[in-house]
Amino acid sequence: LAKTTQPISMDSYEGQEVNITCSHNNIATNDYITWYQQFPSQGPRFIIQGYKTKVTNEVASLFIPADRKSSTLSLPRVSLSDTAVYYCLVGESWGKLQFGAGTQVVVTP
Amino acid sequence: DVKVTQSSRYLVKRTGEKVFLECVQDMDHENMFWYRQDPGLGLRLIYFSYDVKMKEKGDIPEGYSVSREKKERFSLILESASTNQTSMYLCASGGRRETQYFGPGTRLLVL
């Protein structure tokens, strides 16, 4: 399983864009990149998944360069409710996913 | 919406007791997973199942067993609970090329 490295924490103000970069140098050909969000005392929630280039949904965008050794989750115009831990995972999307420590994002007014 | 339910939100058990944690999903997913989450250690995979009656060990299977008799139900069993099994237990389900959907979690305290 490809190991991921992401910042431990990030602070932001409301209305700003937050970009979290995840490194996964040993990503395999069949691996997808998936991001989850977790609030305290709740299970993680899927945000976005991609294989290459750019993926966008109503919550976030995911940028993946051609070499796929890293990815960036972009949260546009964050609000206080976006304060959470964000996990970057790499693996075959149906199977074992390795959760790292995640990135604690704190949004303040 | 996918729904994953877990039998209890909070449980208190005594050392040596047998503990059953039940998980049910309503989306006909093939794969189901059990994780535990501890401060500073993140989520760790205990067991997963890719079909009825099939199971695979995750990263930390010691002290646990699982049962999958029906596609929608995946049970985690602590044969003899110990204090180091105090944790948040999270169940998830997912099909091929799909994401994992998590339940609300069961916070287990073993005294």
pLDDT at A30: 85
pLDDT at B98: 56
Interchain CB distance below 8 Å, A46 and B42: no
pLDDT at A92: 66
Interface test with A, best of B56, B59, B99, B108 (most A CBs within 10 A): B99
Higher pLDDT, B97 or A81: A81
Residue with tokens 């040993």: A26
Beta bridge partners of B77: B20, B65
pLDDT of A73 higher than 60: yes
For chain B (111 residues), the mean pLDDT of every run of 10, in chain order, is 88 97 93 91 89 92 97 97 97 76 95 97
Q: Which residues on chain A are in Cβ contact (under 8 Å) with B101? A: 46
pLDDT of A9 higher than 60: yes
pLDDT at B42: 82
Interchain CB distance below 8 Å, A49 and B99: yes
User: Given pLDDT bands bounded at 50, 70 and 90, which one contains residue A95?
Assistant: low
From CA A35, how far away is CA A91, in angstroms rounded? 11
User: Given pLDDT bands bounded at 50, 70 and 90, which one contains residue A1?
Assistant: low
From CA A24, how far away is CA A66, in angstroms rounded? 13
Q: Which residues on chain A are in Cβ contact (under 8 Å) with B100? A: 44, 46, 97
Shortest CA gap A78–chain B (Å):
23
From CA A87, how far away is CA A27, in angstroms rounded? 16
Taking residues A26-33, report their average pLDDT.
Answer: 88
